[in-house]
Structure 1
């Protein structure tokens, strides 16, 4: 019975208090005329998983003490100046306003991103995150770097995620068999409970890659900010009556 109580506490708390590592980065700059060539010639990400900015996480299995996992990141970048002149792209009033800001400042406001790693609370571990430009990734892979040209925010980045175990994890498979349905429910709803049938060394990690607006506001927090603004206005109106 005591194990069942502790399991319920673990399932409930894990959804809210799962281990989390946050890494904010950008803008990373690449040579303007070399970006496409690097993607075609290096082929670094052919067998690597890829991610585009989205508020929903993607599940990875990472083994502590190994070289880690490489992930190809595709930032949501659009060169407004080139698009307007080459393709006559219709841009919004906000994009028009952003074009009046110096490049470096505009990129700081629009080209910052966040990698957020979440893993089960019953698995003590530290994660290391390194984000590389294609040039640096080529150097890491022992390939020759290329000459730089005019710079722009990279359309392709490579993230290396590695883990180090920092303690002994709670063995969920030793818990009462009658409580296993709670683990499956938590895994289905929150994704934070350690699964029962996987390699004991692997750590399930939910990785979220999202844009950071104005350099400091993650995309996933926008609905909460909107809700707080509406609640504040509503409370203010009700209090004046």
Structure 2
């Protein structure tokens, strides 16, 4: 028994290590929309998540403390017309949902996770190609977009005028002061590491990564449900015996008092 109590703290510590992270999740519908060719813009160089590569790890510098999260990278000043998406406090990622292995799924989930030890807030948003095109047109000195028009799909199925391609925008803002270390002072701003995971939703609600867990739990819970009546029947014998012993004890006590 003492041996088990020695092991228990290590098990608890291991479990805690698995959950010390913040998570932001957004579910969205992969609707067909008119495609836009961004091959002559910086949009074409954004990192891509797809069926074969559905997760990635990045580091982004947070905006200054007390900056409203919705206002991060929204200032009209200091934007380079040649690279309008050059803000260092955000990351844009293309989400290619047009792979044939994903075509039977209409709903997806994008999960954003970062260490709980990193004092930062992250905002996750999903945009369509048309929304990106509109944003490009609204930027200062960006009255035209070379070759950015509704045309043959880019990063999607060849020959189709529509696409299920989406874009994720992640913005980061600092929310506190880290504990100082010998190499990095407490006041220094450090890049925030985070992981993005793109998955299909089974039945519109179940992420693909949880399918194996659910498949494991179903037979376990089913067996537990079937075994419950037998267990209760087995325990009922001891319960009845205990009750009888209590009644006998009470009767014996009453006789002694008389």
TM-score class, shorter:
0.5 to 0.7
Please provide the CA RMSD for this pair.
3.7
Shift of 1:114: 1.4
State the TM-score, normalized to the length of structure 1: 0.60
Q: TM-score of the superposition, structure 2-length normalised? A: 0.56
Rg (Cα) greater in structure: 2
Shift of 1:41: 4.4
Shift of 1:28: 3.7
Matching of residues 1-241 of structure 1 within 5 Å: 13-31=16-34, 35=35, 38-39=36-37, 41-53=39-51, 57-65=55-63, 66-76=88-98, 78=100, 110-142=105-137, 154-171=163-180, 173-174=181-182, 200-239=189-228
- Residue pair 1:111, 1:153 contacting (<8 A) in 2 also: no
**Mind listing any 5+ residue stretches in structure 2 that lack a counterpart?**
1-11, 64-87, 138-143, 152-159, 231-258
2:201–2:207: 8 Å Cα contact kept in structure 1?
yes
Q: Distance in 1 between matches of 2:199 and 2:101?
A: 19
Q: CA deviation at 1:54?
A: 6.6
- In the other structure, the counterpart of 1:99 is none
Aligned residues: 176
Indicate the structure with greater helix content.
1
Which residues of structure 1 form unaligned runs of 5+? 1-8, 84-94, 96-109, 176-198
Q: Is the 8 A contact 2:50 2:99 kept in 1?
A: no
Contact 1:69 1:160 in 2 (8 A): yes
